[in-house]
Amino acid sequence: MTTTTTTKAPSSTTAVSEDPKGLGIKLDIEEYEIASADEAGSADDPLELNINIENAINSYGGKFAVSIPEVTAKLIYLWQDDSGSYDNSAYSNSLYITHTNFNEVSKTSAYRLLTSFSAPNVNGVISPITAEDGSYLTYLFYVDYDEAASLAVEYGLTAQTNEKGTYYDFPIEWAEFGVDTLKTWDNINNVYVEELSNRFEMLDDSGIAGTLIDWQENVVTWGGAIRIYTDAVADTTTTTEEEQMPINMVLDTVYMYPAGSVDTNGEEVAAFGEQAQEYNAYVTADDGVDASSWGLSCAFVLPEVTAKLVSITGIDAGKGIYLSFGESGLVNSSEMQAYYAGDSSASPYAKMAAINQVQATNPVDTGLFQVLFEIPDEETVEAIAKEYGLEKQYADGVWYYEFPVTWAEQAMDGGWTVEDDVATWVESPRFQYMDSTSTTGV
């Protein structure tokens, strides 16, 4: 199972969950909803996808780049005017759009749209663009509605549901910082020329031509999506390799936001040291199956990427990992502690064992164990995920990473037992489940 860490909205150029900073400028790609094939648009009647701005400043111009991932690029067709531009400047607060162009023109590739804009020249006078919140730029597009469900499954998009129906979100993101080739119009020679260009720039209105502001200190960018509602939802169910039995031990899946971030409801997430997130393991049983037990043992593993992410409260003393089952029990986290402290001979698991000395107990009711943990801030989460090659996924309006938690391998574990003041080394299975047939169980 997994620990899923979410971010508030898609973005590559800045941490989107933070509040506006510096000059407070926010660029936000909208989420466009399409409920049927009749709403999918066409070459003759394209749809409008807006990039909106908040806290706009007077400006002599700038540049920005939008990235359209491959799954979305296969779904949509971007409308072009006669000059080959992919935008509609009529909805851009009177900006003069120099040009917008693809890094790839093949519809089977991911698109990157680089837009350059500048203040208009009116009768030889160039004046700054007046600050105005609202639609900043509009891309015109239409979609291949009938292909939405199969594309979503092919690229692993998650089918979501709300009061309107079942849908897939096809992401539209901001590009990473970098340099692209920009195609611009040479008014003197009346030809298009290509030049290297930064992807993100914004000028203020100072002087006669403006001064570049520090983009990363003054602008936040929020990504968007094209949301396709469809009844033709393909089967996204994946089968597990683990055989399902009448009684099963199950690891939880939890969802959480990085420390100090802001969730999708605009609420601030607790800072590191104040989270105390719960992670549980539990037991399920088929109808009519008595899962009551006199005792059991099990062991879970934090793969390296997850161990690097989470901080378990007081792991050195076994605190922060609590057994839910039985009157007496043991949490042995010393192996896990030693392993992540650099002892390669240790095992990266924590073992739980419990015996109920009063009566057989049903762990379906009590659960197996609980781990209290925290995760760091968003920048650290992103860095760990990228270091270990985790895939950034998108569903229901958020981007997220999945950090795995697994059961340990089946094995025998050794330990000392003392009876009549005599210590004996014994080995026992790492996983045991005694039934309720007697005080010792079977």
pLDDT band at 423 (very low <50, low <70, confident <90, very high): low
Identify the CA nearest to 254 among candidates 224, 275, 228, 284. Answer: 275
**pLDDT by residue (tens digit) across 270-305?**
888 777 788 888 888 888 888 888 888 888 888 888
72, containing H or E segment: helix 70-75
Give 442's DSSP letter. Answer: -
Sequence-separated (6 or more) residues with CB below 8 Å from residue 239: none
Identify the CA nearest to 221 among candidates 3, 424, 21, 2. Answer: 21
pTM score, two decimals? Answer: 0.48
Residue 228 reports pLDDT greater than 50 = yes
Residue 87 reports pLDDT greater than 80 = no
**pLDDT by residue (tens digit) across 159-200?**
887 878 888 999 988 888 888 766 666 777 887 777 777 889
Give 6's DSSP letter. Answer: E
Residue 226 reports pLDDT greater than 90 = yes
Region 109-132: mean pLDDT is 73
What span, in angstroms and rounded, lies between the C-alpha atoms of 388 and 339?
18
What span, in angstroms and rounded, lies between the C-alpha atoms of 372 and 397?
27
Q: 54 or 241: which carries more pLDDT confidence? A: 54
